[in-house]
Structure 1
């Protein structure tokens, strides 16, 4: 039986505050795919939440990483250590950051901002720097360059959605008519918002990326930050882009 499962995972943000994220599992007979995998140390939480939904994480075949922010790929190293058969999938642009051959763009951004902060703000910033520097990297097995149709899990479309990060991708499930946005958008109490400009490296590109979603028959959206949004998605997106 094919299923789409939205997990609810709590994590500690870069400022040290507790927050919630929503990784997604798309399950089918041939492939079981996790989209994004939370922070370092989150594997027990992922396993527990998956079991609540009658899914064993050992049955995963692939993990798609939407981009290299720590709360999306920090848990990869532990997952691959316990389940080495799982293949890691990312965009071609994000690959060197996930593998650690290029310095994190988020760390570059944080270090650039650091001198402008107050002494009190620098304490949280140093904590965030430490988190980013402590990420353990893993090889990427499959890279996607641009938009691509794949026959995995009833048919998915990888959508290049730069803006938040240059290599950011979103995933559209054709079977479930569901868009998994990564950080291209966020949600709060069921309402959609454009990603926070503070963490979006190119806001103009981010808006262009959201415009691409209008080409799809979307019945629901899962935002990594904020979870599920339902309704007249086309109208919601058009209103957001005004």
Structure 2
């Protein structure tokens, strides 16, 4: 399948910005628009040009984003952060503390980069903000509640909120993302 050629609008304030399933080497990326434009997962560097193009089609630019929230620390969900950070030096990555070693120490078996035969570039600790169980995060014009759901990775989270009158769950790879051992 080829990457999306345009964002898919799921509601007035919710878009799929990037999707390529079965993916080459990047997970889906979602955008919540409103007062605090928020990106849920940012894919890999492979997704970056498509993500930028599709973001522009929503009327936003990288510098308009207030934050990126990672559902987990795997390569295909966070590697694109570096490209985003080059364009927006102050943007931070919200990620559960249990996945900080995946993105900071970059063990390829912990962050899944071995699957793609590529290395994850380390993400500096000062770029990461910890997500905690039951934390409430402002996103768009709503809030999302963090649910720690270890399994796919030790720091996997699901984000639950109401967007445009609908309850929405961002599950990352908790559902349908393949299986692997945490041993």
Aligned residues: 167
Structure having the higher Rg? 1
Aligned-residue CA RMSD (Å): 2.7
Asked if 1:149 corresponds to 2:136, the answer is yes
TM-score (norm 2): 0.77
Gaps of 5+ in 2: 1-11
2:112 and 2:20 map into 1 onto residues whose CA distance is 26
* CA deviation after TM superposition for structure 1 residue 38, in Å: 1.0
1:108 and 1:41 map into 2 onto residues whose CA distance is 15
1:145 and 1:79 map into 2 onto residues whose CA distance is 24
Give the number of the structure whose residues are more often helix, by fraction.
1
SS in 2 for 1:178: strand
- Structure 2 CA distance for partners of 1:177 and 1:77, relative to 1, 3 Å: same
Partner of 2:121: 136
Of 98, 104, 127, the residue aligned with 2:103 is 98
- CA deviation vs aligned residue, 1:132-185 (integer Å, no higher than 9, x gap): xx2212224310122322344311111111111111011112234111110011
- Structure 2 CA distance for partners of 1:10 and 1:166, relative to 1, 3 Å: same
Structure 1 contact 7–50 (Cα < 8 Å) conserved: yes
Gaps of 5+ in 1: 111-124, 187-194, 203-242
* CA deviation after TM superposition for structure 1 residue 41, in Å: 3.7
* CA deviation after TM superposition for structure 1 residue 75, in Å: 0.9
- Report 1:49-198 matches (<5 A): 49-100=54-105, 103-106=107-110, 128=116, 130-131=117-118, 134-139=119-124, 140-153=127-140, 154-175=142-163, 176-186=166-176, 195-197=177-179
